[in-house]
Chain A
Amino acid sequence: MREILTVKNLSVIYKVEERKIHALKEVSFSLREGEILGVVGESGSGKTTLGLSILSLLDEKAYASGRILFEGRDIFSLSEQELLDIRGRKIGLIFQEPAASFNPVLTIGYQFREILQKKLNLKEKNLVSQIIYDSFKRVKLVDEERILRSYPHTLSGGQLQRIAIAFSIALSPLILIADEPTSNLDITVESQIIHLFLRLKEELNLSVIFITHNLDLAKVICDRIGVLYKGKMREIREKETLFREPKDPYTKELIEAFKKLE
């Protein structure tokens, strides 16, 4: 399978009050086309930093080294304008807290149209409504007229996360990075969103980096899983072999804890 994104020796250091915190240490991996790659780790392992690095969204206190290759170019060498073309358009990002992904004082419809206008330069009304309608249908949102008129606080967490996913796929990106997209949702909603990701991956041939701390989820959704611990990628393998015979001592411990709860 073709590799669509390659991360080489990525290290990220945060400088906090003269102290250096190594969030990522020499992380290397590649994402294959059409796969869901899980990045599993405990809190503080560097999962979110990894997701943000790929879109070059780290704040100024962070120092990154290494290379992230996408479409033959190094993300870190791109200008701000070139990055804007990649963010959203080519690589979408879905966050943990759905409510925080939206502007609370604007309607969903306004925000959706704004994204389409800014990112795709679409102004023609019919085309815009068509895209909105299609993406809502893909994420199985019904009652789209009402949702478009609604403000974020009137919708449930599950609905908002579906809308966030609809926003992302409307720009038809090649890669989606999902950073704990279900950990603030109810288990019944979580299960549905997971199946939504699986379906979208098939329908749109998306490549997904799925960041999570939940091994149950990773086991269901991912093709391959990478285990991140204290900023290091300890092991990255096919899901089945990882669960059957973990090699790294930390992964072993994690899988054992997981199996104890089975």
Chain B
Amino acid sequence: MKLLQVEKVKKYFVHKRKVVRALDGVDLFVEEGQTSALVGESGCGKTTLAKVVVGLYPPQAGKIYLKGEEITSKRNKAFLRRNVQMVFQNPYLSLDPRCTIFFSLYEALSIFTKIKKKEAVPFLEELLKSVELPESTLWRYPHQLSGGQLQRVCIARSLINNPSLLILDEPTSALDISTTVKIIDLLLKIQEEKSVGFLFISHNLKLVKHLAWWVFVMYYGKIVEFAPKDLIYKNPLHPYTKLLLDATTLKLKDIPESTLPERGCRFFSRCPYKKDMCLKEPTLIEIENNHFLACYLKRK
């Protein structure tokens, strides 16, 4: 059984009397204690999907299962909140500037556990140690800490109630490179110790390489290719995946601006291989063992 299973999830927004299909039937999963990475450009729906999974947006259609339990229904709210936690992109905005780190952590702790403030101190000190921060950090305010330290606090807070799934939405893109490397090491250590599943959202394929088991490539609200990491990096099949990899290594030169066509394959306007049949949208099918692709290129 998968830890997280997202099935045909749709989320539409209305913007200036137009319907924006932010998620247009997304399928995705995270295995227990493993990392699935979701990659794509900004605006493709990565963060919307994260918010749907944690229950901040209700989906219009589709089902989301956590450990086999459906979590889109109201009945399972408490179950969802205990088991799924999120770490956001900007740690400066994730903590209340007027509260000490102790208070921010205690607040999260006291939701599911009845514990007095005094008794919480040793537990929280221990928690901070596990994210490699000194105990004294507990009594600091956010402005006294660096971005890397704040992100560690956010990670610590998300772990307080022992969740089984962490959603990491670009957790290092506001950080410097040396800090990024340390945070990635920390995340790997946490995963090994606690066997937490990660949904790692990023546009940086270089980072994803260090964390992910499965890589899902998203374009305009739909998964266009997914496979285990090695297949994606060694044998990318969708032209969009190739484009992203070229962009990561800065080889990408001039390409058309992205536009979403009325019908057919959503990558049509940018695709160098487009054919007439692409006017009918390709579905996601297994092209080789474990390698799923929504493109006619490799079909016989």
Q: Are B253 and A192 in contact (CB under 8 A)?
A: yes
Q: Which residue of B lies closest to A190 (CB)?
A: B247
A207 within 8 Å of B by Cβ? no
How far is B37's CA from A180's CA once the two chains are assembled, in angstroms?
27
Would you call A186 and B42 a contact (CB within 8 A)? yes
Whether B252 pairs with A261 at a CB distance below 8 angstroms is no
Interface-side segment among A10-18, A20-28, A215-223, A233-241 = A215-223
Contact status B255-A254, CB under 8 Å: no
> A140 touches which one: B180, B204, B250, B254 (CB < 8 A)?
B254
Judge whether B244 and A43 touch: CB under 8 Å: no
Is the Cβ of B203 less than 8 Å from the Cβ of A186?
yes
How many residues on B have C-beta within 8 angstroms of the other chain's C-beta atoms?
A: 25
Q: Give a binary string over A145-162; 1 marks a CB under 8 Å from any B CB, 0 the rest.
A: 000000000001011000
Q: Is B117 part of the binding interface, using a Cβ–Cβ cutoff of 8 Å?
A: no
Chain A contacts for B243, CB-based, 8 A: 188
Question: Are A187 and B255 touching (Cβ within 8 A)?
Answer: no
Given A186-B41, A186-B42, is A220 in contact with B177 using a C-beta cutoff of 8 Å? Answer: no
Whether B257 and A258, one on each chain, are in contact in the complex, defined by CB atoms closer than 8 angstroms, is no
Are A191's CB and B177's CB within 8 A?
A: no
Chain A residues with CB below 8 A from B178, complex form: 42, 253-254, 257
A162 to nearest B CB, angstroms?
A: 11
Within 8 A of B (CB), among A84-122: none
Q: How far does the alpha carbon of A241 sit from the alpha carbon of B154 in the complex, in Å?
A: 38
Query: In the complex, what distance in Å separates the CA atom of A159 from the CA atom of B258?
Result: 12
Q: List 9 additional A-B contacts (Cβ < 8 Å) besides A187-B244, A195-B252, A261-B177.
A: A187-B41, A187-B203, A188-B243, A188-B255, A191-B250, A220-B250, A261-B180, A261-B206, A261-B207
Query: A residues within 8 Å of B by Cβ?
Result: 42-43, 140, 156, 158-159, 186-188, 190-192, 194-195, 213-217, 220, 253-254, 257-258, 260-262
Binding site for A on B (CB under 8 A): 41-42, 147, 176-178, 180-181, 203-204, 206-207, 210, 243-244, 246-248, 250-255, 257
